[in-house]
Chains A and B, each alone.
Chain A
Amino acid sequence: MAITKQICLSTSGLTKIFGFGRRQTVAVDHVDLNLYEGEVVSIVGESGSGKTTLAKILLGLINETAGDVFFQGQKRDISSHQKRQEYWRNIQAIFQDPFSSYNIFNKIDSVLLDCINMRGGRGLARAAKVELMREACSFVNLKFEELTNKYPFELSGGQMQRLMIARIFLLKPKILIADEPTSMIDACSRATILDELMKLRDEIKMTIIFITHDIGLAYYVSDQVYIMERGKIVESGSADEVILRPRAAYTQRLISDVPKIHEEWDLSTV
Chain B
Amino acid sequence: MQHTLRQIFRSGKFVVGFSIFAAILLIVTIYPLLVRESPLTIIGQGTFFPPGIYVSVYDSLTSPRYTLQLDDAAAKRLASRLSDDDRLAMKEWLVGAGLLESEIDTTDTARLLGLWEATYDPAKRIPGLTNAKRNYYVRLDASLDGLLATEGLSLATKDPQTGALIETGQVAQTDYANVSQVANLRVLALGTDNFGRDVLTELVTATGVSLQIGIVAGLVATLIGLTLGLLAGYVGGLVDDVITFVTNLFIVIPSFVLLILISFSIGQEQRGAFTIAVVIGLTGWVWTARAVRAQVISLRNRDHVNLSKLSGHSIFRIIVADILPYIASYVVMALILQISSAILAEAGLSILGLGPRTTDVPTLGQMMNWAFIYQAYILGKWWAYLPALAAIALVSFSMNLMNTGLDQVFNPALRE
Contacts and interface: CB of A to CB of B under 8 A. Distances in A.
A106 B313 CA distance: 15
Contacts of A72: none
B253 to A, nearest CB: 29
Contacts of B304: 100-103
B308 interface: yes
Nearest to B312: A85
Interface residues of A, number: 23
A105 B302 contact: no
B306 A97 contact: no
B311 A97 contact: no
B310 A93 contact: yes
A100 B302 contact: yes
Contacts, number: 45
A95 B325 contact: no
Nearest to A106: B321
Contacts of B303: 95-97, 100-101
Contacts of A93: 306-307, 310
B241 to A, nearest CB: 12
Contacts of A118: 311-312
Nearest to A96: B303
Contacts of A104: 326
Interface in A111-133: 114-115, 118
B310 A103 contact: no
B67 to A, nearest CB: 77
B307 A95 contact: yes
Nearest to B309: A61
Contacts of A92: 310
Contact of A103 (B312, B314, B321): B321
B240 interface: no
A88 interface: yes
Contacts of A114: 311, 313
Interface string B297-332: 000001110111111111000000110011000000
B137 to A, nearest CB: 81
A22 interface: no
Q: Closest 10 A-B residue pairs measured CB to CB?
A: A95-B303, A85-B312, A105-B325, A101-B303, A114-B311, A103-B304, A100-B303, A100-B302, A88-B310, A103-B322
Interface of B: 302-304, 306-314, 321-322, 325-326
Interface of A: 56, 59, 61, 81, 84-85, 88-89, 92-93, 95-97, 100-106, 114-115, 118
